[in-house]
Structures are given as structure tokens and as C-alpha cells.
Structure 1
């Protein structure tokens, strides 16, 4: 099994322990994390391109392309790709977000070379064949239909549209039936050639791996794409303030429940107070002891599912509350939620709530990094989003350093902003929505 010597590890000041980074010609970055306690390796090729980089005429192209590249390469068919990873008991998959796309494999450490080969083959040499476009078009349309059948997934997209309007992050990653139905092979192939360039890419590998071996494998499989004269693309900073105000979107649909997202805009991921925002989110609706969960579910039994969450992008974000309840309880649920938000905006959270929220974040961070896959995702995102790597201990110190005063200042700043909302349920018009919701949002 590969081993990494102590002398090759980076110090924790400004970087993460066991994390090493190299930049190859053409701006391609290779980041590895040595995890000696595992027998696995996780390989990810991260491309700094997502749905916010699309024009409206090709909405959903990044996600469509992610599907398409797995269909065939010059040396492998889709069946051969699947057989290669199944033969070693591994996993090969991908996902697309608003700001990046990731193709990844999870294998035994002894199969590292195969994983790098497979992922590089798909990302760099996926053929975008015309016949594959038509097959995968139907698959993506089925995925849209599946999304539409899930109220929570549907409403998540509708909510971001209500929050950000025509801003690119307000568009669904998956695109629309109209855009997917009319997208051409030429458009997808062009998107691939223009966007998937080495300076926008990060190869992140975590597990029982050696950095120098990984770099050698990457050079072997990315070699033809590695040309001199290009620097890595800097972490995305965004385009500035989002224009307009959040609104209210309604999806009138018969069903047993009403689903609602309610929230405010936040600064993006580079905000100095992002850890205080995480603590606030945890105290509001991040766990069983959170204020929204206790008030809406435990004390009153008004809903089964209720939580808060934070979506962060380079230049913007959203702090949101979600609940699903019987339509006749919708008014009371929104009243309680708006009362909780108003109370926290006015008085803040308590010392006990702050302590519990920080403990929840610390535990969630450490427990969520117990496998090589989660470690690979952490270093890949960190390289794309920030261009730096912080040790887990340093991150825990940042959480510990958040004060009650900082959290409450963030609550006062954000929860007094204009609210946006999205509702899905048997409600014929916005005028029929509860007064508590109409008074706080739109």
C-alpha cells in the first residue's frame, strides 16, 4: 500500500495536515489528502463550471453534459465504463451544481490508477455523439419529471427563483423541458470544448494515496491537455449585488400537504461572518433542539418536517426555513415561523442555544469526514471556492471563536431583510395565502 512520509506533509498554518497541492502546466491543480486509516481512494475531477455559467438558451447544459460524457469515449462504451468500475466494486458518478461540476470515483487504494484513468477518460474524451444526445435527452427529461413529482425538490428550485429572480443562480440546475428538448449536440459539444479547460479544473484525491504517484497519474492521463502559459482560474467572486427584491412564488397543486420555503438573502461564501451564520442556522432549525423544530413540531405538533438551511454561492446566498403541513394548518405554521424569526431578529438566540449549535457544527464536521469520499469533496471544494486549505483543527477553532454577540448581530442584520417565499399546495392564488406569510414576504 502507498505511504506518504512526514516530510511531504504541509503544516497546518494556512493548509490542512496531510494535504498537498501541485499546479501542472496549463493551470491544472492536483490536491491530495493522505488518510492512512483507510483502504480506499476517492478521485474527483472538479470543473469550475455550473448552471450559472449558461446562457438562457442553453439552460441545463452543464447538467445535460454531465450525463452525456458517461455515454462513450473513443476507447470505451457506456457498458465498458460501467463494467470497469463494477469489476473492482467501485463507484463512478457525477453531480452538477450552480457553480461547479464534479466527476468522481471511489475505489480500493490498489485501484487508484484505474479510477484516475476512468474519470479522466470521461471528462476529457467523452464523445458527445449525436445518437447519445437523443438517448440522454430522454433520461434528463425523465429526471425533470421525477423532480416535478417531489414537492420538496420542486419547491427548492421555485424558492431560489423567488429569491434571485433572473439572476443566474435563480435558474434550476436541471434546466427546463423546453431548453432540454431543443438543445443540440453542437451546443453541448461547444460547451464541453470551451468550458472544460485545465485552468478551470482541480483533480482532488483523498485516501491511502501518495501525492507524487497521483501527480504522475494525472500527468499521464491529462498530458495532451497540459499546455504552458495558463494560470489556474482564481476562486469565483461573483458579479456583485443581486438586483431587485425577493418575491413570492406559488405552485397550485392538489395534495395532502402544503409545502413552504421562506427566507432572506445572505452574503456569499467569502463573508467574514459565515461561521456565525452557520451557528445561527443550526440554532434556528438545524437540529432536534432548534427553536423552529421545538416550536412547530414538538410543542404544537403542526408539522412532521421542519428545518432551516443555508445555500451559499460566490456572491450571494439564502437562509431559508422549510415546513410541510396539512393545508388547514398552513396559517398557524407560517404564523409560528414568522414569530420565531421576528423574535430572533429582535432578541437573538440564548447562550445555551449558541453553545448547542456550535457543538452540533463541530460534531457534524468531524463525523462527516470519516471516509475518503467526504475528504475528497472537502479539498476539491476548498480549492475551487477559496484556493486554500484549512486543517480540521483550524476550522474547529473558527467555530469555537464565534461569539453570541456575533451571532445575534448577524441575526439582526439578516432577519430584518426582505423575505421571499415559495409555496406548493392547494392554494389557488397568492391572495389565498395566510396573512402571516403575506405580511413578511413579497
Structure 2
């Protein structure tokens, strides 16, 4: 994997971005990618699962499904057929903070695809007769998710680490909350959240002639403005502690640790956290992989990830090993984390991490879909900037500042630790 991270000198500034806002607060951004073969249209909204109120759990994701059941102008399935006929594809995703719908389309079909996308998302029919049928689809999705031991272990970690916070509950919701929902509740959620400054449209690809005028006259301009800027839930704070569970059909034991980190708005700290997790757990030369898998040979895999979120980012460490090696692996992890907190990292470790994080960002700019998503996300949360601007932030981190500000936080006593072992719960 590290061979793919050769030092890159191309893309010094990233795609050129043009930001503007409609009178009702909708954010818009065009990312010019002259060499791209396709155009990506990506519509984002601050309407993820963390915006759900009591008894709305799972509503944001359920609404994503219902959007594709048709609009005031499009019958169920017509949107997909129209987009495919234009030579494109579509998809959507619901997260904790936001939801987005995107279309990847030949550039000369972008105008028509834009009209179709906006009609589908902004004017969904949310028909009563489709509501029950699609709810059954979502309930089956929840059942399939519950049947995957690895996924359930991760959900258990989140639930124990963030009790009472939306980040601690499943994005899909639970059957009881879905069964109690009505089309009226869903319509209210859509009307309340899909408006004004809660929405952002990004277009990435070759030059789109007349783009600004077309968007300014589109259905986006007809959205009502938000009367006030809502404040989401309080910041997520990980509750430290150690837990042990047994999970039926789990193939290998799991050692997981979860730490709270700065919210997405604190970009400097977030980028430092990206460096820190790279030092500890990305690639064969990282400290945890090198010691636990290469040297001691007591684990199968080591994964350390940073999930950047608006209400507090999360750092997750997941280790797979045999049950008899769990205790030894946990001791080795604690030793490595303590070592990182006690003394600055080596110069080569810092240089390697800067290179990997920087190149990961550069590689993301090769795809119109990823560029549109990055640009839209920044605009949606009022942080418009050049897509490679985070590389400048990386320069502020040194071996000493990483040690003093981050590695002292990424310690076992500040983590929620979950040991998941194969076998039926007692």
C-alpha cells in the first residue's frame, strides 16, 4: 500500500472553485475539472440522523429511500430510468450530520440531469401507498445489518462510547421507531430541513456553460429560507471505560478503542489527528502495525481511522486477533500509546505521515465525485476554501506539538475500550 504513496508534486492548488449563494441562503460551488470525462452534480442537506428528534430515529435514512420513490413530476423508478438513458448513474448516502444525492453524468447532459435531480429531492411525492412498502425495505436492511457480527460490534462501541448522543445510535434507526412513523411526520421533516442555508449544490467537471444562471433560476431558488440557523446536538464526548462482550458468529476477537476528537470546524486539530493516526496505525511502518503484527505477530489486522464529524470527530482503533492473544495485544497497544505520549516521534515518522496524509488528499482530487463531495461539504458547513488548503495546515504540526497536544490525549484511560469475543453472550 505504501508504494502507492510516492511523493506527488502535481495538483499544486487543486481544481478551481467558484462559490456563491442564492438569495435564500442555498450554497453553490463549481469545481472546474477540464480533463474530467463526466460531470458530478451533488446536492447536500443538513438533515442527517443527528437532526432527528425523539421518535424520529431512522427518519433521515428512511426519507432518503422515499425520495427515490418518485416526485410530483416523476413516477417511481422514472428518475433512475431517465438518468440511465442520459448515460449517467445516481446514488445517495445518509450520515450522522448530513445527507446527499449525487448524479454522475456526461457533461453535455448536465442541464437535464440537474432538473431531474432537483425535482426528485426537493419535491418528493412521499406517497402514502409507497410509505409502507419502502418501510419494509428499510426494516429488512436493519435486519441484515443486525445479522453482521462485525457491524454490530462497531455499533456496540458507539453506543457505549456516546450514550445519549445521536452518534451513539444507529443511522438506520430501530424497528420500533420506524413502525411508529407516518408519512405526515416525514413530510414535516423534509419541509423543516430541506430549505435555504441547510442545502448546498456542488458541480464538478468540465466547464458548465451558463451554470450560474441556470442554478439561480432552478428549483433551488424557490426553497424557503431558514428563519434561523438551527444548532445541532451538543458536542459528542466519549465516555471512557472498558467493556467486554461475546458475539455469536464473530470469527475473530476484536479489541476496539474510541476517542473523542475536535469537531470538523477545528481544522488544524483535525488535520493533526489525521497525522497522529497515520503515525500509529497506517501502513506496515506505523507503530502499532509494526509492533503487533510484524514484530510480535499476535494480531491479524490493525486499523486506525479518523471520522471527521460536525459535533465532534471520532478516532477508532480496531484490532483483530485470536482470543488467546487479546490480553497481550491490549498490553502492547498501551505500551505504544504511552511511548508516543512520553517522547516526540522520530523525524522520519513525521515526514512519512505528512506525505501519506497529503498524498491521500491529492489522490481524492482525481475523481469528479470526490471533488464535488468535498466542495459541497465545505460549503454546506460554511467553510469554503481551496481543496488543498488543508495541506497548509499540516505544516504547523511538529513532532513536539503532536506529542503534547494529541498523543497525550490518545491514551487508554481516555478511550472507550470494547473487547468483543466470539461466542454466545452469557
- What's the offset of the Cα at 1:305? 2.3
**2:317 paired residue number:** 321
Among 215, 227, 240, the residue aligned to 1:218? 215
**1:277 paired residue number:** 273
**1:372 paired residue number:** 368
- What's the offset of the Cα at 1:84? 1.0
- What's the offset of the Cα at 1:35? 0.7
Structure 1 pair 109/219, CA: closer, same or farther in 2 (3 Å)? same
- What's the offset of the Cα at 1:58? 1.2
**Does the CA-based 8 Å contact 2:375-2:387 persist in structure 1?**
no
Unaligned runs of 5+ in 1: 1-14, 431-442
Structure 1 pair 301/245, CA: closer, same or farther in 2 (3 Å)? closer
Structure 1 pair 379/232, CA: closer, same or farther in 2 (3 Å)? farther
Among 402, 406, 426, the residue aligned to 1:407? 402
- What's the offset of the Cα at 1:57? 0.9
Whether 2:83 is the aligned partner of 1:85: answer yes
CA distance in 2, matches of 1:276, 1:303: 27
Deviations 1:309-343 (A, max 9, x none): 11232232222210122222222222222222222
Whether 2:414 is the aligned partner of 1:421: answer no
CA distance in 2, matches of 1:246, 1:98: 23
**1:306 paired residue number:** 302
Deviations 1:370-406 (A, max 9, x none): 01111101101111234321242x3323223321111
- What's the offset of the Cα at 1:76? 1.5
- What's the offset of the Cα at 1:352? 1.4
Whether 2:390 is the aligned partner of 1:395: answer yes
- What's the offset of the Cα at 1:223? 5.6
CA distance in 1, matches of 2:110, 2:144: 34
CA distance in 2, matches of 1:246, 1:427: 22
**1:148 paired residue number:** 146
- What's the offset of the Cα at 1:367? 1.0
- SS of the aligned residue for 1:301 comes to coil
Structure 1 pair 177/338, CA: closer, same or farther in 2 (3 Å)? farther
**Does the CA-based 8 Å contact 1:285-1:293 persist in structure 2?**
yes
Whether 2:381 is the aligned partner of 1:352: answer no
CA distance in 1, matches of 2:74, 2:379: 30
CA distance in 2, matches of 1:346, 1:156: 30
CA distance in 1, matches of 2:391, 2:128: 49
**1:435 paired residue number:** none
- SS of the aligned residue for 1:26 comes to coil
CA distance in 1, matches of 2:423, 2:187: 43
**Does the CA-based 8 Å contact 2:253-2:419 persist in structure 1?**
yes
| Superposition TM-score, scaled by structure 2 size | 0.89
Whether 2:243 is the aligned partner of 1:248: answer yes
**1:55 paired residue number:** 53
Instruction: Could you list the structure 1 runs, at least 4 aligned residues long, displaced by more than 4 angstroms after superposition.
Output: 229-234, 243-247, 427-430
**Does the CA-based 8 Å contact 1:27-1:198 persist in structure 2?**
yes
**1:334 paired residue number:** 330
CA distance in 1, matches of 2:378, 2:14: 11
- What's the offset of the Cα at 1:226? 4.1
**1:200 paired residue number:** 198
CA distance in 2, matches of 1:303, 1:170: 27
Structure 1 pair 38/167, CA: closer, same or farther in 2 (3 Å)? same
Unaligned runs of 5+ in 2: 1-12
- What's the offset of the Cα at 1:244? 5.5
- SS of the aligned residue for 1:66 comes to helix
Structure 1 pair 362/194, CA: closer, same or farther in 2 (3 Å)? same
**Does the CA-based 8 Å contact 1:29-1:232 persist in structure 2?**
no
Structure 1 pair 63/241, CA: closer, same or farther in 2 (3 Å)? closer
| Superposition TM-score, scaled by structure 1 size | 0.86
Deviations 1:250-293 (A, max 9, x none): 35324331223212222212234222211001111122321111
- What's the offset of the Cα at 1:133? 1.4
**2:255 paired residue number:** 260
**Does the CA-based 8 Å contact 1:263-1:318 persist in structure 2?**
yes
- What's the offset of the Cα at 1:170? 1.6
CA distance in 1, matches of 2:415, 2:250: 25
- SS of the aligned residue for 1:58 comes to coil
- What's the offset of the Cα at 1:247? 5.9
**Does the CA-based 8 Å contact 1:305-1:323 persist in structure 2?**
yes
Aligned residues: 413
- What's the offset of the Cα at 1:246? 5.4
**Does the CA-based 8 Å contact 2:374-2:387 persist in structure 1?**
no
Deviations 1:106-148 (A, max 9, x none): 1111111122122211211111112211121122122222222
- SS of the aligned residue for 1:57 comes to coil
CA RMSD in angstroms comes to: 2.6
**1:3 paired residue number:** none
CA distance in 1, matches of 2:139, 2:181: 12
CA distance in 2, matches of 1:266, 1:223: 34
